[in-house]
Amino acid sequence: MDVLRPTLIRIGGRVYRKNLIQDQAYQHEEEEDDFCAGPGDCADEPCDAFVVEKTEKGFQCRVEVPSLLYKYVIGKKGETKKRLEAETRTSISIPKPGVEGEIVITGQHRSGVISARTRIDVLLDSFRKKQPFTHFLSFALNQPAIQEKFLQFKEEVLEKCSKDHGVSGSLFQNPAKLHLTLGTLVLLNEQEIQKACDLLQQCKEDFVDQIAGGKPLTVEVVGVEYMNDDPAMTDVLYAKVHMKDGSDRLQVIADQLMERFVASGLMLREWDRVKLHATVMNTVFRKDPSGAYHSSLLVN
């Protein structure tokens, strides 16, 4: 890493520098990163990104963290937690492994509590991005008429291409799982899943129903494309989808849903806008005959 051009991480409207530890590395599952706040360090100014409570002995801050991520705050033999406590002059209480709860930061000085909370947020954000996605947000596309046409497509492909290298029935999507993916999410406990469901319901009330006019959106699935510049290296074949009335309402809803989920922190931004497509063949399905390997949040 170029020390003059460190990686910048945005959390809660603030920007932080990501610095690798040079003198020692703590190993648990992978090398741990250390972080310090960049421009707009909460320790140097009032910070309203989270609540710091005044107590009889000083100050306290609580942060909800999925139990799966506790280990990244603790570190090997507790070294990460000890270092954070020493450098910020705070005490960090972490629930037992596997027990969902809150990490509680306490200290005599408000700036120390804010500094510890900020460093924990940056640390966990980094490791959360390394977790495999658990859910995806999607539009259901499994109506009987579409399923029937899809099965016809599958039959024709297998009839004409079954002798081609690598082509088999296991490559095709499960017709009951046909959908348009809007984005992927990493939801690590029931609380985060519920938060995503609540946000989806709120989006429905705020703009989805209004844009859709309270009626189902009729779409056409016409044509296929592959996701690779080199046809010989294609792993995914997808169907193109557009509104039957020629409007862009489906695209508008998809883009606004993505924006809302990205703003909530539940989804990472991958593209400027959602690419509406329905996967019909994927080499990864060879490993999963069901054609669906993660849970979904469906927009009906």
pLDDT at 27: 43
pLDDT at 163: 78
CB neighbours (10 Å) of residue 249?
Answer: 13
Cα-based torsion angle of the residue sequence 54, 56, 60, 64 in order, rounded to the nearest 10 degrees: -110
- For helices 249-264 and 190-203, angle between their N-to-C axes, nearest 10 degrees: 140
Portions of the chain given CATH number 3.90.1140.10: 135-285
Residues of the chain with pLDDT under 50: 1, 22-47, 293
C-alpha–C-alpha distance, residues 209 and 300, integer Å: 11
pLDDT digits (tens, 9 = 90+) for 173-182: 999 999 998 9
pLDDT at 268: 86
Portions of the chain given CATH number 3.30.1370.10: 52-129
CB neighbours (10 Å) of residue 88?
Answer: 23
C-alpha–C-alpha distance, residues 300 and 251, integer Å: 15
**Class of the domain covering 52-129:** alpha beta
pLDDT at 300: 53
DSSP at 123: H
State which fold the 135-285 domain adopts: Cyclic Phosphodiesterase; Chain: A, (3.90.1140)
φ/ψ of 286, rounded to 5, equals -60, -30
pLDDT at 295: 57
pLDDT at 2: 56
